[in-house]
Amino acid sequence: MHKRVIDGRFELVERLGGGGMGLVWRAWDLALHREVALKEVRPPDPSIDEHDPAHARELRARVLREARALARLNHPHVATIHHIVDPGEQGYPWIVMELVTGGSLQDRVQRGPMPPPEAARLGREVLSALRAAHEVGIQHRDVKPANVLLRADGRSVLTDFGIAAMRESTSLTATGSFIGSPEYMAPERINGVEGDPASDLWSLGMMLYVAVEGRHPLRRSTALATLAAVLNQDVPPAERAGVLGPVLGALLVRDPAARPDAATLDGMLAAAESGHLPAPPLPHP
């Protein structure tokens, strides 16, 4: 079978997955003789090029801006971007990234809940990636177990920042499908309030809750019912969280201003990682 080669250099081997932003492929770099991940960026609504070419152009430009900003981060817990293939107006970009082979946090949680100190270590790694991104003005907007990949040595890598480029236009595509993951989305984002990095911290808290409990406290049978639960229902206390309990309690509160800032949160996670019960954060002045 003839394999598809992108940009005369990257031979597509197999499809690894897809999300709101496009498809991810395992590929072979014919120049450097190494495996890479290739992200085929495509809009969730394929008819956008026909119906709204100006918006499609803006989307392409935003994806490229975001990829360049992420490439500058050079952070140990952010997936490394090696190269961008930009076909110009003829199509959407391909982003060439490191291939992370250890599966995702979602795969890990399906094998059973994580011990709280291990989840706290992972939480600190993801938090450090979010802090680096927030400092250069990038919010992730889709922190969830499927977007945290695990390297062979167990260290985690946050991936798939690109949803930000899609989300700002509209949360619902023309075909009515939802962008983002409703069960990990902060209540204020569901209400259309953007621009607060604390929203990513809610998502981190919900992800850690699922990691130690092995289940999601507000997931319902449909996406709409889940959205309603996130908006209207308090998160029940985790039963298996142990030393992580105070962290989850501090993050999963409706008011973004009441969540701990990143530095305080890192201190709380560090205590939990070492097996100590962290002190609750001081109230904001």
Rounded to 5°, the CA angle 18-22-28 comes to 75
Amino acid identity of residue 68, one-letter, is R
Side-chain-side CA neighbours of residue 21 (13 Å): 30
Amino acid in the structure at residue 156: S
Q: Which residue is catalytic, options 45, 142, 160, 200?
A: 142
- Phi/psi at 156 (5° precision): -100, 155
Q: Are 207 and 144 a contacting pair, CB within 8 Å? A: yes
- Judge whether 107 counts as a catalytic residue: no
Single out the residue of 166, 176, 175, 146 nearest to residue 158, CA to CA.
146
CA 44 – CA 22 distance, rounded (Å): 7
Residue at 221: amino acid letter: S
Task: Return d(Cα 46, Cα 60) in angstroms, integer.
Answer: 13
Q: Which two tokens stand for residue 67?
A: 């990829």
Task: Sort residue 141 into left (φ over 0), alpha (ψ -120 to 50) or beta.
Answer: left
Catalytic residues: 142
